[in-house]
Amino acid sequence: MDDYNPEHITEDFSREIETEPGSEDRYFNRELSWLGFNERVLEEARNAAHPLLERLRFLSISGNNLDEFFMVRVAGLKGQQLQGVQMRSFDGMTASQQLAAITDRANALMDEQQRVWIELRDALADAEISVLENDDIDGETDDWLANHFSEHIFPVLTPQALDPAHPFPFIPNKGFSLVFDLERKEDGAPIRELVMLPTTLPRFVRIPGEVVRYVAIETIIRRYTNILFPGYDVVGGGAFRIIRDSDIEVEEEAEDLVRYFRSAIKRRRRGRVIRLKLEADIPDDMEELIRREMGGEDVIVAESSGFLGVADLEALVEEDRPDLKFPPFSPRFPERIREHGGDCFAAIKAKDIVVHHPYESFDVVIALLKQAAEDPDVVAIKQTLYRAGKQSAVIRALIDAAEAGKSVTAVVELKARFDEEQNLLWANALERAGVQVVYGFIEWKTHAKVTIVVRKEDDGYTSYCHFGTGNYHPITAKIYTDLSFFTADPRAGRDAAQLFNYITGYVKPENLELISMSPRDLRSDLMKLIDDEIAHERSGRDGAVWAKMNSLVDPIIIDKLYEASRAGVQIDLIVRGICCLKPGIEGLSDNIRVRSVIGRFLEHSRIACFGNGADLPNKNAKVFISSADWMPRNFDRRVEYMMPISNPTVHAQILDQVMVANLIDNEQSWELRSDGSYRRLQPEDRPFNLHRYFMTNPSLSGRGQALQEQGSVPKKLRVKRRG
């Protein structure tokens, strides 16, 4: 059985796959490409087409993204630098070179965030939502805030003197602290005090009244230091915020994965400080102390003259101003299920179904699980759980099924970053209900999103399968665009069963009939599909590839796409985030175009389409959905799937609607240039917004009429690349 255990593969910060000598200039740097993505997110905060509070939400998201980037990616590079690791990234940069480039660009991004915040703060004030500074507070407002401070903030704060008797306290990840230099009024004796802002306190306090006014908690604390430090005068001070290394590395010798993660989560809270953000006007000696206590020369320091903790601006977005937010949108419940009176099994057995989230409700997945839990003919349910959320109806349905006597197996991925603790809680709840909980491989993550429901029927046992491109997470399913594919095809059921047996028992899949799997053959199968397009082009037919994903990093796949481009294959890629491929370079990637879509919904589905001897779209094209991005980790260190779509209706829905709409969008799309910069597309006289299109057009999972009745997409905007 040891032969079936995953081999050790190093983290993808380093060069895992050898490329040709001198080939470094063939790829964009992974980390800098990610920063480029976050710059595009930040630009949406300036997009006047979005309502004001939604623009503020984009600013907040850019702050949260940057925090997580330092917590994981930069932390990994910093670890390499400190350990003297000399391995280079695919584009030829050492860890130190990458850190230098990241620091410069991240600092520029942080400065831009502050400029955007000033713009939005002024616009909010014009919209009668004010964020008050200290000089704006007077009269009754001052009286109310002083009372609020005394009753609700002061009891929670714990000032700590910084002297030899009181060593510098531990500051948690994302911890925000104020430091004050004080002099005793009586004799001028100096003292330095640190005040950590407890996470239990809101970052903003709303002042009562019809006029909407907020005050940041640090502004309030600084204003009422006479209450916090009676008998002292403030002579100096500053604020700082830290980011800690928050990644969890799984050790090969971990004997008990659950116990290991419980311990690792606790250790993560005390991870090495990676980034220190300081107020720009902090006194020099105070800055020196904080730097020394937070890690000295090893910490990455940034100074800001504006608002620290941009992610916290999300709190202001919750203000009840529907006129400043996107119009409410209610997803449709799939028509195909309604046609069968809500009977999921009958609808799926009649014909394969694709559901397009968030335009169509994730409730259909819950409905399938609930029906399975209640149906006396259902004998077994198997499901992978990567991220399920905190209030998960999915977990409730699995518990109900187990308590009803079904055989229920849940593959809970403990290594889902930042969801480890929640997944441990779900695993305990599931086990208490009688669910067989499996944690998968020690080194690999189970990232495939698959469910099997086995039902006893008149003609034997039928396996009803769900293959998703996104997580079983009811909350993110409202804002992430993903596909849910439902089928009762016996071949899919047999393949899915082998996938589960591989995860639960290390039983290697053999003779898979439909799906490709990572780390088994997904990369090689993709390369063969691209090779087929190259062969078509060389034989005088047309070769074409369309693909949609979150990230494109894998150098082997990138090189194969370069080869296809040189052969004349027309390649259109929709890559929301990281893209290490360089498009439009003469003699290398002339025939490759890359776009990124950033808008109201987060593009998350993974789709791959191959022309099969003709330009795309065409009815004979090969169409696949997948759980995997095209990254080394997805191919080598994760259990993933790729599923071919053969049903003509579903095939047309994914290819002629979803993919075409993504490729012709010109209101929220960016084009990647060969130098690594992105250009926002301009609608000109033919505007098309793919999110608006799917919010207003008939359901994908209807009778297949949308293609005929609506023309799938406006014909005048159809994608044409040749001639």
Q: Convert the pLDDT of each residue in 545-575 to its tens digit.
A: 999 999 999 999 999 999 999 999 999 999 9
Region of residue 528 (phi > 0: left; psi between -120 and 50: alpha; otherwise: beta): alpha
* Cβ(682)–Cβ(714) below 8 Å: no
CA dist 159 → 162, 234, 492 (Å): 10, 14, 61
User: What is residue 419's predicted lDDT score, i.e. its pLDDT?
Assistant: 56
If you search the block for the tokens 């009586």, which residue do you land on?
186
d(CA 415, CA 261): 8
Task: Please give the pLDDT value at position 79.
Answer: 84
DSSP category for residue 641: E
- Averaged pLDDT, 108-132: 97
Task: Specify the 3-state DSSP secondary structure of 204.
Answer: strand
Encode pLDDT of 247-288 as tens digits: 645 444 444 444 543 454 445 455 789 999 999 999 999 999
Q: CB of 554 within 8 A of CB of 629?
A: no
d(CA 107, CA 100): 11
User: Token match 């306090």: residue?
Assistant: 205
- Cβ pair 664, 719 in contact under 8 A: yes
* Count of other CB atoms within 10 angstroms of residue 215: 22
User: Among 10-24, 31-45, 456-470, 573-587, whose mean pLDDT is lowest?
Assistant: 10-24
Instruction: Tell me which DSSP letter residue 488 carries.
Output: -
pLDDT digit string, tens, across residues 148-175? 999 999 999 999 999 887 888 889 889 9
- Give the per-residue pLDDT at 16: 41
pLDDT above 70: residue 723: no
Q: How confident is the model at residue 297 (pLDDT cuts 50, 70, 90)?
A: confident
Q: Terminus-to-terminus CA distance in the chain, angstroms? A: 56
More confident residue, 484 or 418: 484
- 8-22, 76-90, 221-235, 306-320: least confident range: 8-22
Please, are residues 299 and 81 in contact by the beta-carbon 8 Å criterion? no
Domain 335-511 belongs to what architecture?
Answer: 2-Layer Sandwich (3.30)
Residue 8's pLDDT band, with cuts at 50, 70 and 90, is very low
Looking at the predicted structure, is the pLDDT value of residue 454 above 50? yes
Which CATH class, in words, describes the domain spanning 517-717? alpha beta
691: phi then psi, degrees, rounded to nearest 5: -65, -45
Rounded-to-integer distance, Cα 222 and Cα 236, Å: 11
- Determine which of 74-88, 205-219, 370-384, 511-525 has the lowest per-residue pLDDT on average: 74-88
The per-residue pLDDT for range 335-344, each reduced to its tens digit, is: 889 999 999 9
Q: What is the CATH number of domain 12-120?
A: 1.20.58.310
Q: What is the CA radius of gyration of the chain?
A: 27
Average pLDDT over residues 90-105: 92
Q: Report the predicted TM-score, pTM, of the whole model to 2 decimal places.
A: 0.90
pLDDT tier at 721, thresholds 50, 70, 90: low
What pLDDT shows up at residue 253? Answer: 42
Q: Is 447 among the catalytic positions?
A: yes
Q: For residue 84, what are the contacts with CB-CB under 8 A and spacing of at least 6?
A: none
Task: Tell me if domain 335-511 and domain 517-717 are identical in fold.
Answer: yes
**Tens digit of each residue's pLDDT (9 = 90 or more) over 598-652:** 999 999 999 999 999 999 999 999 999 999 999 999 999 999 999 999 999 999 9
Rounded Cα distance between 590 and 565, Å, is 6
- Which residue bears the tokens 């190093």? 10
What average pLDDT does this structure show over 469-479? Answer: 89
Q: Please tell me the least confidently modeled range out of 50-54, 310-314, 592-596, 713-717.
A: 713-717
Comparing 15-29, 446-460, 493-507, 674-688, the range with the smallest average pLDDT is 15-29
pLDDT at 4 over 50: no
Q: CA geometry: angle at 65 spanning 631 and 120, to 5°?
A: 140
Q: Model confidence over 656-677: pLDDT tens digits? A: 999 999 999 999 999 999 999 9
Please name the residue that has the structure tokens 């391995």: 87
Assess contact for 603 and 576: CB atoms under 8 A. yes
pLDDT at position 257 is 42
Query: Tokens at residue 199, please?
Result: 């996470």
Catalytic, out of 50, 356, 357, 447 = 447
Q: Residue 391: is its pLDDT beyond 50?
A: yes
- Strand locations in 611-680 (E): 622-626, 638-645, 669-672, 678-680
Q: Looking at residue 440, what is its pLDDT?
A: 73
pLDDT band at 422 (very low <50, low <70, confident <90, very high): confident
The percentage of residues in the chain with a pLDDT greater than 90, rounded to a whole number, is 73
pLDDT of residue 573: 98
For residues 210 and 5, which has the higher predicted lDDT (pLDDT)?
A: 210
Does residue 17 carry a pLDDT above 90?
A: no
User: Is the per-residue pLDDT at 36 higher than 90?
Assistant: yes
| C-alpha span between 502 and 496 (Å, rounded) | 10
Q: What is the mean pLDDT of residues 84-90?
A: 83
Residue-level pLDDT at 60? 97
Contact between residue 97 and residue 24 where contact means Cβ atoms under 8 Å apart: no
Domain range annotation of the chain: 12-120, 335-511, 517-717
User: What's the pLDDT score for residue 21?
Assistant: 39
Q: Give residue 62's pLDDT.
A: 97
- Joined together, the tokens standing for residue 54 give 């939604």
Least-confidence region, from 2-11, 195-204, 376-385: 2-11
Average pLDDT, the chain: 88
Q: Which residue in this structure is represented by tokens 């012709």?
A: 664
